[in-house]
Chain A
């Protein structure tokens, strides 16, 4: 009983933290390379926790991101829902990989998410193409092992309780 409550608490808190991280003010150069915190955190939970479905939370978080970044409502929501679906669907495969292989295996997921954002921007006539748009894919990949290890530590403590 307590573990379930702890689990939901951890889930909510970690996602709120990811949301705050993606809003922190950074210098211009660093901001272009900001890892995609919300997709990272959602992918972790979708991969690691079969007890809860991250699909609907992904949609809500996406709407929150859309409001904060003044993008068309639904843009981030759609990207996140698709990302979570893919990761949950392929969980069986991903969970067998060691961490470093999973890091590489997730690159297409980040690239797909970035592409969706770029595509919807284009479709809603917000033309801002620049190669820098793909930089977050690299930084997100680099941050995955770190996030996974830290979250794994917390996860174990939750389960021990």
Chain B
């Protein structure tokens, strides 16, 4: 044991409690914080206050990539012309497709009226910009620049141009945090488009995409099947693509089989996302806030489906 540091420290700075005692105290405080934070929403205000205090640091850290993005935005005339041409072509294509959809939508509405069902077909959407991505590689979360002020609520579905992206978990005044569907904490009710079978897709992390656990061993599911969101649970609007099955696995000796799917939405690529108001949220327009309180007060319970199937 080397006692050199002790000898010249003590006369200079007479300390209060010793190192070990302070450490134990701080560990106990941390444990209490962890326990409270995982069990309930009590620390939510502390967290949002701290994130406001820390926002300059986050801004500083995002400067280099913002600058790179800005440099990428400088475009030459040719690229602009090419982009313009491409956009015009794709718009023509989409418009042609839309005409067909309009006819289909009208037909669908008539048929629904025959069934006396009140389901709406077009959902209300709002474009939000992705302003930050969680830098922890094992958590798939993004921050959006829309918050309570724009009517965003916890549990709201988030889609991009290709499919379901995730859902809002925390709402601040002007920004909100969303959990992506590939996060291991996330579960989404899905329907297999080909057969109409309902199941649940749990996040499998960045490398595996989505996992469909506990499928009956004779379930009709194949590689290439499209998964679309189902409105079971009332959280996601029905019919948006969620992913494509790329692997179906029978585990020897198990009663269930598992399937893996790659997400349809482009995770961590775009800079914009669409917030979707699903049917039952807008029908009670005035008391959206009131409806959300239970969801907001328990951030861990926002995927009831996933909680139900967690092994």
Contact = CB atoms under 8 A, between A and B. Distances in A.
B22 to A, nearest CB: 6
A82 B185 contact: no
A142 B302 CA distance: 41
Given A70-B139, A85-B19, A92-B3, A120 B34 contact: yes
A23 B310 CA distance: 31
Most B-side CB within 10 Å, residue of A26, A78, A95:
A78
Contacts of A34: 135, 137
Interface stretch (A57-65, A100-108, A146-154): A57-65
- A interface, by DSSP: helix, strand, loop or mixed? helix
A22 B135 contact: yes
Contacts of A133: 138
Contacts of B38: 72, 123-125
Contacts of A85: 19-20, 23
Given A70-B177, A81-B23, A62 B30 contact: yes
Given A124-B34, A128-B138, A82 B27 contact: yes
B252 interface: no
A25 B19 contact: no
Interface stretch (B44-52, B222-230, B234-242, B286-294): B44-52
Interface of A: 16, 19-20, 22-26, 28, 31-32, 34, 50-51, 53, 55-56, 59, 62-64, 67-75, 77-78, 81-82, 85, 88-89, 91-93, 95-96, 120-121, 123-128, 130, 132-133
- Give the top 5 A-B pairs by smallest Cβ distance, nearest first: A92-B2, A74-B33, A23-B61, A78-B30, A74-B30
